[in-house]
């Protein structure tokens, strides 16, 4: 019955309601399934709240008559214990993933003491005709998700272990994917949604309708409102009975603030005051969250014997969120079960960091050892937390250092590391303000101050939200491990990086181990304690850099600011180190050369324009050739790049020159009177400049000048045909000039519009340059005649401008 009640728990869409406790054993940690519709049910709990006590029995009778299951009755009686919270995110448009800013971030908040959460994600397209695509959802606790589409996305020094991080796949078919999770950690959760395969096809805006894909999310959490408190190192007695809430008890364990370890143990268990040897209960431990009943690591079955009913918990939650839950198993007897249990702790000592600081007078480590070692009885020494020294002008630029006796930042973190005690310090990562960068931790070993008869190794263990296990720092099973040996002459430091770190406290523990050179590297007490220096720095990207194939920049997604690398030349990854689809340097150079030098095919059109006395057209072709070449020199590759001017200026000039070249060519073909042609040329330049600045990729910007220009050509030619009473121009010009020119222009236009992709762009676009420039040679009209009544100045200008081209023409005739 409990399972049927729990199964229907989240099928309602009520924004706030009360629910029964979750069943045991519970569902797997996460599940996915699809459904089309949600069935709405009457919220009988609120109905029971509104009725008086006189009608309560009547409503209970109706519940039993119409609903044989007692699920709703359980819900009514358990309303004080459990409550649901619902949150939604608006639909966000997603796109193909190339770098982290291409993903869409959805934020959720899980309340404290949540026993279950259900995420619902739905992806859809804006049109029914759109292709159904896969959508990736990366769900992570505490910070921005780590997106790892390939195994090469992150360098080897990156530490990627997270409290919770999973990837889920849904389809853009408007179905709902449900993710069920028991005992989630409270606080912020982030989901990054993306399309894994970006569309490489370069489409002209407005020709083909682009499909837009979106995703939205919903979170429903069940929160327990009541639990007891148990103080560590005291004996607690708990009584469980077969009832709705009496068979499950939750306690929050109050630990001493410096606890690095605690033991849970059942001391005695009786059934109806009789010791049966076993205990018909399950015990679950929650470290930073409510106790889950689906994680074997924190689950104890006390049925067979109470002697085995104990658990060792390392790195308890430093925020005080440590819980234990008892669940009474179903047995034949209905007698109460009384459990006597206790939590015992192991703690560190707190001392000033100055005791272990290496001083400037270079006192011997032996003296330090004799002064330090006898003072402490604990296995670990807690040093002060590191302070954060941040840059006021830049985001994600800070360093963590010890404060001195005047609470000012020290220059470095240098410690004398003993082998008898672990030294523990820590630093805090603030939510949002520190989550968008990268934490870099470096361990340096000062090898000059060691005993000649010993080698040493220094271990550093970094654990989040809890002190490291000081009994096993050499393995650091629940955190990130750094170790460096004095015997390794090639290794002077070790480093790890934590990208987009989770918010919270991080604790750093150090310990040394010394080995005898004369006894085959056997472990022995250190003659002198080794010295270590460690640095903890937060920066953008990877130390403000992205290698040789990327640039580091800051991005904004909604209210979230983060740093990310913008990779080029086909490189990918967080630090542009993934060369799965990378281009070679020679291929990048080839792309620049093709896209720039292909504009040289405008030179014949320029010479022909001046020879045929189309001086304005020739100037426009020079402008187009020059700015197209320098624009592609700036845009074609970030590896081989030369930007003569600002990128926006080059882009505007390139597009304006291209459209003007088409416009003045059509006006020249129309053979308009000079005054009228001048007016149309100036009007075209003004309106094209306005249109390019408004939207340089607009389809209307391509179509309108082309249609108007061709219309002017046909009107002018039609008028000439009517005046001459025969076809204009001649059929020879149609066959040998216009037809090849139109074919070249159409082929170039088709290639530019339909066949360009990110991969073949350098080839297809270069061919587009060649075809369009060559088509001008065929489309440009014959030589213009000087107008009657031209002034002498105009004649002389024309004469001197055309003289070089006439000389070339005469020279060519003699050669031929």
Q: What is the pLDDT of residue 721?
A: 84
pLDDT digits (tens, 9 = 90+) for 562-614: 999 999 998 888 888 888 888 999 999 999 999 999 999 999 999 999 999 99
Could you tell me which of 83, 118, 110 has the C-alpha nearest to residue 218?
A: 118
Rounded Cα distance between 447 and 610, Å, is 77
Distances (CA, A) of 514 to 371, 476, 483, 491: 19, 18, 13, 17
57 has a pLDDT exceeding 50: no
- Give 483 or 18, the one with higher predicted confidence: 483
DSSP assignments along 86-108, one per residue: EEE---EEE-B-SSGGGSEEEEE
Distances (CA, A) of 76 to 5, 21, 43, 59, 243: 12, 11, 10, 11, 14
Could you tell me which of 424, 428, 417 has the C-alpha nearest to residue 469?
A: 424
**Per-residue 3-state assignment (H helix, E strand, C coil) for 229-256:** EEECCCEEEEEECCCCCCCEEEEEEECC
pLDDT digits (tens, 9 = 90+) for 518-530: 877 788 998 888 8
pLDDT digits (tens, 9 = 90+) for 704-756: 999 999 999 989 888 888 887 777 777 787 788 889 999 999 999 888 888 88
Q: What is the pLDDT of residue 60?
A: 42
Which domains, ranges and CATH numbers included, belong to the chain?
2-224 (2.60.120.380), 228-347 (2.60.120.20), 355-539 (2.60.120.680), 590-785 (1.20.1070)
**Would you say the pTM of this structure is higher than 0.85?**
no
- Give 451 or 708, the one with higher predicted confidence: 708
The three-class DSSP label of residue 34 is: strand
Q: Categorize the per-residue pLDDT at 58 as very low, low, confident or very high, splitting at 50, 70 and 90.
A: very low
**What is the average pLDDT value for the chain, to the nearest integer?**
81
Q: List phi, psi (to 5°) of 442.
A: -125, 135
Q: List phi, psi (to 5°) of 436.
A: -95, 10
* 471, 319 Cβ separation under 8 angstroms: no
CB atoms within 10 A of CB 407: 8
Q: Categorize the per-residue pLDDT at 629 as very low, low, confident or very high, splitting at 50, 70 and 90.
A: very high
Q: What is the pLDDT of residue 22?
A: 36
CB atoms within 10 A of CB 801: 14
pLDDT digits (tens, 9 = 90+) for 312-337: 999 999 988 999 999 888 777 778 89
How much of the chain, in percent, has pLDDT values that exceed 70? 79
Q: What is the pLDDT of residue 74?
A: 40
Distances (CA, A) of 209 to 126, 147, 206, 306: 11, 29, 7, 69
Alpha helices in 525-641 (DSSP H): 585-597, 602-611, 615-635
What share of residues in the chain are helix, strand, coil (percent, to 5)? Answer: 30, 30, 40
Q: What is the pLDDT of residue 793?
A: 42
pLDDT digits (tens, 9 = 90+) for 272-323: 888 877 888 889 999 989 988 666 666 888 887 777 888 999 999 998 899 9
Could you tell me which of 672, 705, 782 has the C-alpha nearest to residue 737?
A: 782
């Amino acid at each position: 019955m409990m399972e049927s009640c729990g199964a229907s728990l989240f099928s309602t869409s009520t924004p706030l309601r009360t629910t029964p406790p979750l069943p045991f054993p519970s569902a797997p940690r996460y599940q996915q399934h699809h459904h089309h519709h949600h069935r709405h049910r009457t919220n009988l709990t609120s109905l029971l709240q509104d009725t008086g006590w006189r009608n309560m029995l009547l409503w209970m009778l109706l519940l039993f008559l119409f609903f044989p299951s007692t699920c709703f009755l359980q819900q009514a009686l358990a309303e004080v214990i459990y409550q649901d919270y619902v949150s939604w995110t608006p639909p966000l448009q997603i796109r193909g993933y190339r770098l982290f800013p291409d993903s869409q971030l959805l934020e959720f908040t899980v309340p404290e003491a949540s026993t279950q959460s259900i995420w619902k994600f739905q992806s859809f397209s804006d049109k029914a005709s759109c292709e159904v695509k896969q959508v990736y959802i990366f769900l992570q606790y505490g910070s921005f998700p780590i997106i790892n589409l390939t195994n090469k996305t992150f360098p080897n020094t990156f530490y990627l272990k997270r409290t919770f991080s999973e990837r889920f796949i849904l389809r853009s078919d408007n179905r709902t994917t449900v993710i069920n999770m028991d005992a989630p950690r409270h606080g912020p959760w982030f989901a990054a949604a993306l399309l894994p395969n970006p569309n490489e096809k370069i489409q002209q805006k407005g020709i083909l309708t682009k499909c837009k894909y979106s995703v939205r999310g919903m979170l429903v959490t069940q929160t327990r409102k009541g639990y007891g408190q148990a103080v560590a190192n005291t004996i607690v007695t708990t009584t469980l009975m077969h009832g709705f809430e009496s068979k499950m008890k939750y306690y929050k364990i109050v630990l001493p603030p410096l606890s690095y370890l605690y033991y849970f143990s059942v001391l005695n268990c009786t059934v109806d005051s009789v010791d049966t040897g076993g205990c018909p209960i399950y015990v679950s431990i929650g470290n930073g969250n409510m106790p889950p009943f689906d994680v074997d690591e924190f689950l104890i079955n006390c049925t067979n014997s109470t002697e085995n009913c104990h658990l060792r918990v390392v790195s308890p939650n430093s925020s005080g969120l440590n819980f234990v839950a008892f669940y009474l198993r179903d047995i034949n007897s209905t007698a109460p079960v009384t459990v006597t249990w206790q939590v015992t702790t192991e703690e560190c000592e707190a001392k000033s960091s100055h005791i272990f600081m290496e001083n400037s007078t270079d006192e011997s480590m032996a003296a330090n050892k004799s002064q330090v070692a006898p003072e402490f009885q604990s296995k670990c020494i807690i040093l002060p937390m590191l302070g954060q020294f941040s840059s006021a002008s830049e985001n994600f630029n800070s360093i963590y250092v010890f404060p001195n006796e005047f609470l000012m930042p020290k220059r470095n973190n240098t410690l004398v590391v003993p082998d008898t005690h672990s030294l523990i310090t820590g630093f805090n990562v603030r939510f949002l303000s520190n989550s968008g960068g990268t934490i870099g931790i470096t361990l340096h070993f000062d090898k000059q101050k060691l005993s000649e008869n010993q080698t040493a190794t220094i271990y550093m263990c970094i654990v989040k939200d809890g002190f490291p296990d000081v009994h096993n720092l050499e393995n650091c099973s629940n955190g990130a491990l750094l170790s460096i040996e004095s015997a390794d002459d090639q290794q002077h430091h070790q480093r790890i990086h934590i990208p987009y770190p989770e918010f919270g406290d991080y604790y750093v523990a150090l310990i040394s181990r010394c080995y005898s050179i004369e006894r085959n590297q056997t472990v022995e007490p250190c003659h002198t304690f080794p010295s270590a220096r460690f640095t903890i720095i937060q920066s953008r990207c990877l130390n403000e850099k992205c290698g040789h194939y990327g640039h580091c920049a800051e991005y904004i997604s909604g209210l979230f600011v983060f740093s990310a690398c913008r990779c080029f030349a086909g490189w990918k990854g967080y630090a542009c180190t993934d060369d799965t689809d990378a281009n070679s340097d020679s291929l990048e150079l080839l792309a620049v050369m093709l896209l720039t030098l292909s504009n040289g095919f405008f030179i014949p059109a320029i010479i022909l324009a001046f020879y045929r006395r189309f001086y304005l057209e020739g100037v426009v072709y020079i402008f187009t050739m020059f700015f197209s070449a320098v624009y592609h020199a700036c845009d074609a590759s970030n590896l081989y790049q030369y930007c003569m001017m600002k990128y926006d200026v080059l882009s505007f000039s390139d597009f304006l020159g291209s459209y003007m070249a088409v416009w003045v060519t059509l006006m020249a073909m129309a053979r308009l009177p000079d005054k009228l042609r001048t007016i149309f040329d100036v009007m075209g330049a003004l309106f094209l400049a306005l249109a390019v600045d408004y939207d340089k990729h607009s389809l209307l910007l391509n179509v309108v000048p082309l249609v108007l220009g061709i219309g002017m050509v046909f009107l002018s030619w039609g008028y000439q045909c009517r005046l001459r009473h025969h076809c204009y121009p001649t059929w020879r010009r149609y066959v040998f000039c216009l037809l090849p020119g139109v074919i070249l222009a159409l082929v170039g236009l088709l290639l530019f519009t339909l066949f360009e992709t990110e991969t073949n762009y350098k080839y297809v676009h270069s061919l587009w340059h060649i075809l369009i420039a060559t088509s001008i040679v065929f489309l440009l009209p014959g030589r213009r005649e000087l107008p009657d009544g031209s002034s002498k100045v105009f004649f002389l200008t024309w004469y001197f401008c055309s003289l070089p081209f006439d000389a070339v023409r005469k020279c060519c005739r003699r050669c031929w």
